[in-house]
Amino acid sequence: MKKVTILNKIVDSGIVAVIRGESPEKATKTAEAVIKGGVKGIELTFTVPKIDRVIAELSQKYRGSKVAIGAGTVLDATSARIAILAGAEFIVSPSFNVEVAKICNLYQIPYVPGCMTVTEVQTALSYGVDIIKMFPGSVTGPKMINAIHGPLPYVSIMPTGGVSLDNMADWFKAGAVVVGTGSNLTGAADHDDLETVTAMAEKYISKLTQLRKNS
């Protein structure tokens, strides 16, 4: 049931914020700013130094809440296990990796790998993947979801890369179950403008609420 509960949290969040930063402190502050704005899906990437400490800190703080703390840019099983032991509730990769899939299955943690083709999607599904990260979304576009849903209509897809406030509706209309967004949401953090990050998060949540009400 653990995996199902986490999957429901991810889908209910509607938006997963991709958090990067040149230091653990910056990544933590950016994540907090996003959560303050109402976004409950948080993907902390392994490009951040000492990211396991950030995952551990935020996972402990938000344990038992609707906030889902996950790890991103996970390229190998060792990194996946480090993230999971630190408290990550889900693992995201830019590509599919069999060993990462196995370790996630072992710990009953959702694995969201990046895929671009039907072959990659089919392979990921055969290893127990529940949500496919369509990446990069800026290259594939919303129509790719329709294309994949032709032969594989039951696949849950999370586009990431190129998702913005302006085109979020197009992604959900095409069939996305959740969207991942990075610099379009958190870009102001590069200039330490966390208030703008929170304001952007609020706009994303407002848009999401509107879309769900009209669907």
What residues are labeled active site? 43, 133
For residue 71, give the 3-state DSSP assignment: strand
Beta strand spans in 13-67 (E) = 15-19, 41-45
Looking at residue 62, its amino acid is Y
- How many CB atoms sit inside 10 A of residue 167's CB? 17
Count Cα neighbours of 135 within 13 Å in the Cβ-side half-sphere. Answer: 22
- What are the Cα distances from residue 116, in Å, to 60, 107, 159? 34, 26, 10
Query: How many Å apart are CA 29 and CA 23, to the nearest integer?
Result: 10
Residues comprising the chain, all counted: 215
Whether 133 and 160 have beta carbons less than 8 Å apart is answered as: yes
User: What ranges make up the beta strands (E) of 20-167?
Assistant: 41-45, 68-72, 91-93, 111-115, 131-134, 156-159
- Provide the greatest CA pair distance for the chain: 45
Q: How far, in Å, CA of 158 to CA of 130, rounded?
A: 11
